[in-house]
Amino acid sequence: MTETRLRTWSHSTAYTLSAIFISALAFQNLRYGFYQLFYLALMMATLLFAGLVYTLVSRRQQLSAPGHLVILSLLNIGLFVSCLTLDAPGISHWAMPLLVLNLTILPLRQGLALSALLVATVSISLWFRQPLADALISSSGLALMLAVVGFYIWGYDYMAQSAQNLSTTDPVTGAHNARFLDETLQKEISRAIATGHPLSVVSIGLNHAEEVRDLHSKTGLQTLLKNMTEHLFETIRTGDTLYTVNESEFFLILPFTPEEGVRVIAERIRRNLVEHDWPEVGKVSVSLGCTTRGNGDTSTYSLRSRATSAMEEARTRGANSAWFSPGEPVKA
Q: Does 130 bind another protein (CB under 8 A)?
A: yes
Q: Within 10 Å of residue 151's Cβ, how many Cβ atoms?
A: 10
Q: Does 13 bind another protein (CB under 8 A)?
A: yes
**Among candidate residues 101, 113, 251, the one with its CA nearest the CA of residue 182:** 251
Distances (CA, A) of 208 to 289, 298, 315: 16, 33, 11
Q: Is the CB of 35 or the CB of 151 nearer to another protein? A: 151
**Among candidate residues 246, 277, 236, 65, the one with its CA nearest the CA of residue 172:** 246
Q: Does 186 bind another protein (CB under 8 A)?
A: yes
Q: Does 66 bind another protein (CB under 8 A)?
A: no
Q: Does 18 bind another protein (CB under 8 A)?
A: yes
CA distance 49 to 15: 7
- The piece of 6-14, 52-60, 208-216, 324-332 that touches another protein (CB under 8 A) is 6-14
Among 255, 266, 303, 322, binds another protein (CB under 8 A): 255
Q: Is the CB of 152 or the CB of 301 nearer to another protein? A: 152
Q: Does 137 bind another protein (CB under 8 A)?
A: yes
Q: Does 156 bind another protein (CB under 8 A)?
A: yes
Q: Rounded to the nearest whole angstrom, what is the least distance from the CB of residue 143 to another protein in the complex?
A: 8
Among 113, 144, 215, 264, binds another protein (CB under 8 A): 144
Residue 96: partners with Cβ closer than 8 Å, 6 or more residues away: 142, 145
Among 8, 76, 104, 173, binds another protein (CB under 8 A): 104
Q: Does 89 bind another protein (CB under 8 A)?
A: yes
Q: Is the CB of 191 or the CB of 271 nearer to another protein? A: 191
- The piece of 49-57, 209-217, 231-239, 274-282 that touches another protein (CB under 8 A) is 231-239
CA distance 244 to 172: 9
- CB burial of 247-265 (b: ≥16 within 10 Å; e: otherwise) equals ebbbbbbbbbbebebbbeb
Q: Is the CB of 64 or the CB of 238 nearer to another protein? A: 238
Residues pairing with 290 in the sheet: 202, 324
Report the residue count for the chain: 332
CA distance 8 to 65: 11
Residue 116: partners with Cβ closer than 8 Å, 6 or more residues away: 146
CA distance 317 to 204: 15
Among 96, 120, 124, 172, binds another protein (CB under 8 A): 96
Q: Rounded to the nearest whole angstrom, what is the least distance from the CB of residue 101 to another protein in the complex?
A: 6
Among 115, 125, 138, 244, binds another protein (CB under 8 A): 138
CA distance 242 to 252: 5
Q: Which parts of this chain interact with another protein (CB under 8 A)?
A: 1, 6, 10, 13-14, 17-18, 21, 24-25, 28, 89-94, 96-97, 100-101, 103-104, 130, 132-138, 140-142, 144-145, 147-149, 151-156, 158-160, 162-163, 166-167, 186-188, 190-191, 194-195, 197, 237-239, 255-256
